């Protein structure tokens, strides 16, 4: 039987498909290792009930998880419930199979675990693979280091409480990010190799650290706690507030052959910064809203503050991107929360790589938003090169009563799914539809069994 050819490529040359960016970071070697450890764990639990999951099924499992982060329901079983069914989830994999894979999802051999050893043993192989993938991204000269919270309120020795974070309970990760939000070093490994500028907050900043970095030819800037500046006294907070916003004071010293500049600046509240390469001058003017005058006023800002604000905050922005469509799948296993967070972060990093390539190839209006990017990746993982999972038995004989109304435009799968040459067969539909081939206005009954779109079944179309 002749297969139906699907739509042409829509992306310009030089920009890959969204799913290719995700697979570049979460590559096949990682997927094969996850499949191997998952099948091994299923045999360790019950040798008579092997799981026999494949790489294709594991991709479908991840694709379903991504769809669940977009179509958020309070319970996972609702995605298969007839009243709240989500077609892209329910038609990809059965509920029992998805729950079985989730139950046995594993990343390390339990026989190799040492009592009292690595607390992240369960996910260490996955983190190592992802660290290597993130290192393949070219690193900028400016790098910011900050903490990231993985929200979690279950029982775990690794769970921490940080009251100043938006998500106070969870796992804390030390992140190293470029100013373009590219995770160059990956989570749980904030060691830097070759860079020239480093930015961090008062959790890390100290005089000894900045001296050590400067001797390694790494300039640094960071907010610092007053107690870590021994022998350095600044103007009192009340005195600075009385002088008004924009007041600053600078101290400079040389310690172990390294020049250090400490600057205290009062904006809405006082802040102290420590630097080894930039000082307070030259100052610039910034706009601020004055509550008393009820107007916008100009406030003097030291140069060190401008440099710090320009390059710091990447981890917080990455957190906000992950939180937009976070995978919220409940599990009894504590490490599943880390795994789903890593998947979400890898997809956001893939979107950033895709957007970077699009900036030189496409107009800004044609760039894919994060939501559309995640939908395309999830659809490709669920459908590309996969055989349809059709249920056995007689089809439903439900009868629709009433006048037929024009519904929404039919879903067109992404280009990798349309051109994967797997399971695209012509079907004779009971209803008619317009051909989806660009430029064709034919009304036909032939339909693709996988893409579920109407296409003309002619000699020109099938060649």
Q: What is the mean pLDDT of residues 176-198?
A: 57
Calculate mean pLDDT across residues 87-112. 94
Same domain, 22 and 117: yes
Q: How confident is the model at residue 408 (pLDDT cuts 50, 70, 90)?
A: low
Give yes or no for residue 4 having a pLDDT over 70. Answer: no
What's the pLDDT band for 390 if we cut at 50, 70, 90? low
Q: Is the pLDDT of residue 267 over 70?
A: yes
- Based on the domain organization, do 444 and 374 belong to the same domain? no
Residue 52 pLDDT: 93
Same-domain check for residues 359 and 440: no
Question: Residue 127 falls within a domain, yes or no?
Answer: no
Residues 441 and 367 in one domain: no
Please give the pLDDT value at position 13: 52
Structure tokens at 317: 């922005």
Taking 90 as the threshold, does the pLDDT of residue 291 lie above it? Answer: no
Asked whether residue 369 is domain-assigned, the answer is yes
Domain that holds residue 447: 425-462
Q: Are residues 368 and 432 in the same domain?
A: no
Instruction: Look at residue 442 in the predicted model and tell me its pLDDT.
Output: 86
Average pLDDT of the chain to the nearest whole number: 84
Confidence of residue 5 (pLDDT cuts 50, 70, 90): very low
The percentage of residues in the chain with a pLDDT greater than 70, rounded to a whole number, is 87
Q: Is residue 62 part of a domain?
A: yes
Confidence band (pLDDT; 50, 70, 90) for 7? very low
Say if 450 falls within a structural domain. yes
Structural domains in the chain (count): 2
**Res. 192 pLDDT band, cuts 50 70 90:** very low
Task: State whether 379 and 435 are in the same domain.
Answer: no
- Whether 273 has a pLDDT exceeding 90, the answer reads yes
Same domain assignment for residues 40 and 117: yes
Q: Would you say residue 344 lies in a domain?
A: yes
On the question of pLDDT at 428 being above 70, the answer is yes
pLDDT in tens, 104-154: 999 999 999 988 888 999 999 999 999 888 888 777 778 888 888 899 988
Tell me, yes or no, whether 355 lies in a domain.
yes
Q: Assess whether 113 and 22 both reside in one domain.
A: yes
Percent of the chain whose predicted confidence (pLDDT) is above 90: 41
Predicted TM-score of the model (pTM):
0.78
Residue 104, pLDDT score? 95
Q: According to the model, what pLDDT value does residue 405 have?
A: 54
Asked, for residue 138, whether it belongs to a domain, the answer is no
Q: Indicate whether 232 belongs to any domain.
A: no
Pair (37, 118) in one structural domain = yes
Indicate whether 191 pLDDT > 90: no
């Amino acid at each position: 039987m002749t297969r139906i050819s699907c739509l042409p490529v829509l992306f310009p040359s030089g920009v890959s498909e969204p799913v290719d960016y995700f697979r570049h970071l979460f590559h096949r070697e990682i997927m094969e290792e996850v499949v191997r450890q998952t099948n091994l764990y299923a045999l360790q639990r019950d040798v008579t009930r092997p799981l026999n999951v494949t790489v294709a099924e594991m991709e479908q499992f991840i694709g379903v998880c991504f769809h669940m982060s977009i179509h958020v329901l309070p319970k996972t079983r609702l995605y298969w419930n007839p009243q709240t069914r989500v077609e892209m989830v329910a038609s990809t994999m059965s509920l029992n199979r998805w729950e079985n894979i989730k139950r046995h999802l594993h990343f390390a051999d339990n026989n190799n675990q040492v009592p009292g050893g690595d607390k992240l043993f369960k996910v260490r192989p996955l983190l190592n693979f992802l660290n290597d993938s993130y290192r393949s991204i070219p690193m900028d000269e400016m790098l910011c280091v900050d903490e990231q919270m993985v929200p979690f309120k279950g029982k775990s020795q690794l769970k921490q409480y940080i009251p100043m974070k938006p998500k106070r309970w969870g796992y804390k990760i030390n992140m190293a990010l470029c100013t373009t939000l590219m995770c160059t070093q990956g989570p749980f490994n904030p060691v830097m190799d070759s860079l020239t500028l480093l930015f961090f907050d008062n959790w890390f900043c100290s005089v000894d650290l900045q001296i050590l970095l400067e001797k390694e030819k790494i300039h640094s800037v960071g907010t610092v706690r007053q107690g870590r500046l021994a022998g350095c006294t600044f103007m009192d907070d009340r005195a600075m507030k009385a002088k008004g916003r924009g007041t600053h004071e600078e101290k400079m010293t040389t310690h172990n052959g390294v020049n250090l500049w400490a600057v205290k600046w009062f904006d809405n509240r006082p802040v102290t910064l420590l630097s080894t390469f930039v000082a307070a001058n030259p100052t610039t003017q910034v706009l601020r809203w004055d509550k008393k005058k009820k107007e916008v006023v100009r406030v003097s800002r030291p140069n060190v503050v401008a440099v710090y604000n320009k390059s710091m905050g990447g981890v917080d922005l990455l957190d906000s991107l992950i939180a937009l469509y976070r995978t919220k799948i409940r599990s009894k296993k504590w490490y599943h929360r880390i795994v789903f967070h890593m998947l979400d972060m890898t997809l956001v990093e893939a979107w950033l790589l895709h957007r970077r390539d699009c900036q030189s190839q496409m107009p800004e209006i044609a760039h894919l938003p994060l939501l559309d990017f995640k939908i395309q990746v999830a659809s490709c993982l669920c459908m590309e090169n996969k055989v349809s999972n059709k249920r056995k038995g007689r089809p439903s004989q439900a009868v629709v009563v009433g006048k037929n109304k024009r519904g929404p435009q039919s879903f067109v799968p992404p280009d990798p799914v349309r051109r994967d040459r797997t399971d695209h067969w012509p079907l004779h539909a009971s209803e008619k539809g317009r051909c989806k081939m660009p430029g064709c206005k034919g009304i036909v009954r032939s339909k693709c069994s996988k893409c579920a779109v109407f296409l003309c079944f002619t000699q020109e179309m099938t060649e």
